[in-house]
Amino acid sequence: MIQKRFHLLLVLILLVVFKAPAYSSSDCTEPIPELFQRVSRAVVSISALALEPNKISGRIGMVSGSGFIIDKEGLVLTNSHVVVERQAISLTLDDGRKAEVKLLGADPIFDIALLRIKAPDSLPFVTLGDSDSVRIGEEAIAIGNPFGLEQTLTRGVISGINRVLPGSSLMIPPFIQTDASINPGNSGGPLMNRCGEVIGINTSILADAQNIGFAIPINAAKKIIPELIRQGRVIRPWLGFSGKPVEKELMEIINLPLVEGFLIETVDSGSPAQKAGLQGGELSVMIGGAEYLLGGDIITAFNGHPIKDSETVQKILASVKVGDKISLTVFNKKKFREVEMTLSERPILPGDIPNSSRGTLQPTKGTVRFIF
C-alpha cells in the first residue's frame, strides 16, 4: 500500500513537472541520431500470447507491441490492446534484458495501459510533453518495434489534430494524425516532437492507406494515470445507449416526425437506459453515405438543457458521474415524455475487449456514433 501511494504521488509530481516547455519544438536542434540514442533507452518491446477461444483453429497467436518508461521507478505506458486479456506478457528493455512486468491498470476505452517493471537499477525514462500545443506541420518521430524490428525510428510530420474518426466513439479522445510510418508492433510506442518529448501513444493505422497513423494524445494519458494506479481502471458513468445527433439537414431530408436532439439507435441490455424504458431504432436507412437506425427515442433535453449539437453531447458526458440521478426529455411517435434514471458504473463491454486487429482501423464514411 505504501509503495502504491508512493507511485501515485510520484506520478502527480510528474504531471506538474511535465508541462508545456517555454519554447517550441522548432527551437530544438539536437541531431536526430543523438536524440534517438537518448530516448530509445526508455522504449521497451512487449510481447504476449493472444487467445481467441471462439475460433475453431488458430486460437493462439503472438501479439507484439511497444511501450515507454515514464519514471525511474519503472512505470511503463503502452496500449491496452497489447496487454489486456493476454497471456505470458514479456517485456524486453533496450539493452536486451528481460524485466519482470505487472499490469497495474488499463482503460480499453482510451486504449491505454500502465505497467510496472522491476529492474536492479535506476531506469531511463522519457519526458512527457504537451499534446495540446502540437501544431500541424511540426516534425514527428516514432520509435517502436514494427514487425519485431526492435528500436526502429521513423520520422514525419503532424498531419492532423483532433481527429475523430467516423465509426468510433466520442468517448475516445481525438487522435493526433501523423505520416511517420506506423506499423503493427509500433502500438504503445511513443510519438515525439523534435525535442524528444512524448506527445502521443501510437495506437493505430488506417487500413489500405499509406502513412496515415494515429496516436492518443499524451495529455489524455496524463489525466487517467492516477486512476489506473489507484484503482486499476477508469470509473465512468453508464447510461447504456448509443446513437447520433439529429441535425437540421437530416430533418429536411427525411419525411418522418423528427426533432433536434440525440437519436438513440441501440440500448444495452441491463443498462440504466433499458431499465428506464428507452427505446432503440428499428429502421435502417443510408443517407449521404451515413447509416442511421431510425424509429428510436430522441433525447431533446438533458436535465433541462436542450441538446442541439455534438459539442453539447460531449459536455454532458463530461459533466455526469456514477450515482447521479438525471432526467431526460424524450420524443417518440409525436409525443414528449420525461424519463429519470440513476447512473451506474460502465462495465467492460464486448466491443472493449482487445483483438489482434485492434491497431488497424477500417476506413468508414458517415457521422460519429456516440456511445454512452
pLDDT at 166: 58
Task: Decide which of 236 and 22 is more confident.
Answer: 236
The answer to whether residue 318 is domain-embedded is: yes
Verify that 249 and 267 share a domain, yes or no: yes
Q: Is the pLDDT of residue 218 over 80?
A: yes
Q: For residues 264-302, b (16+ Cβ closer than 10 Å) or e, as one string? A: bbebbeebbbbebebbbbeeeeeeeebbbbbbbbbbbbb
Q: Is the pLDDT of residue 20 over 50?
A: no
Residue 172 shares a structural domain with residue 205: yes
Please say whether the beta carbons of 167 and 205 come within 8 A.
Answer: no
Among candidates 310, 349, 359, which has minimal Cα distance to 170?
A: 310
Residue 340 reports pLDDT greater than 90: yes
Q: Is the pLDDT of residue 121 over 90?
A: no
275 in a domain, yes or no?
yes
Neighbours of 136 (CB within 10 A): 11
Instruction: Quick: pLDDT tens for 226-255.
Output: 999 999 999 999 999 888 888 766 666 665
Angle at CA of residue 202, ends 321 and 174, nearest 5°:
40
> Can you give the CATH number for the domain in which 96 is found?
2.40.10.120
Q: Beta 75-78 vs 86-92: how paired, if at all?
A: unpaired
pLDDT of 25 strictly over 80: no
The domain boundary residue, chosen from 175, 206, 231: 231
Question: What does pTM read for this prediction?
Answer: 0.84
226 & 241 share domain: no
Question: Distance (Å, rounded) from C-alpha 315 to C-alpha 105?
Answer: 26
Spell 235-262 as b/e; 16+ CB within 10 A means b. ebbbbbbbbbbbbeebeeeeeeebebbb
The residues that are catalytic are 81, 111, 187
Do 196 and 318 fall within a single domain?
no
Shortest CA distance to 338 belongs to which of 328, 325, 347, 346? 328
Task: Decide: residue 196, CB within 10 A, 0-12 exposed, 13-18 middle, 19+ buried.
Answer: buried
Paired sense of beta strands 75-78 and 325-332, if any? unpaired
Host domain of residue 292: 237-345
Ranges of H-type helices in the chain: 2-17, 32-39, 80-83, 218-231, 248-253, 272-275, 310-319
Paired residues of 245 in beta bridges? 262
- Number of structural domains in the chain: 2
C-alpha cell, 274:
433499458
Q: For residue 190, is pLDDT > 90?
A: yes
Question: What would the pLDDT profile of 1-11 be if each residue is shown by its tens digit?
Answer: 555 555 555 55
pLDDT mean across residues, the chain: 85
Alpha-carbon span 237 to 345, nearest angstrom: 5
- Do residue 141 and residue 268 come from a single domain? no
pLDDT at 337 over 70: yes
Q: What percent of the chain has pLDDT over 70?
A: 82
pLDDT given for residue 19 in this prediction: 47
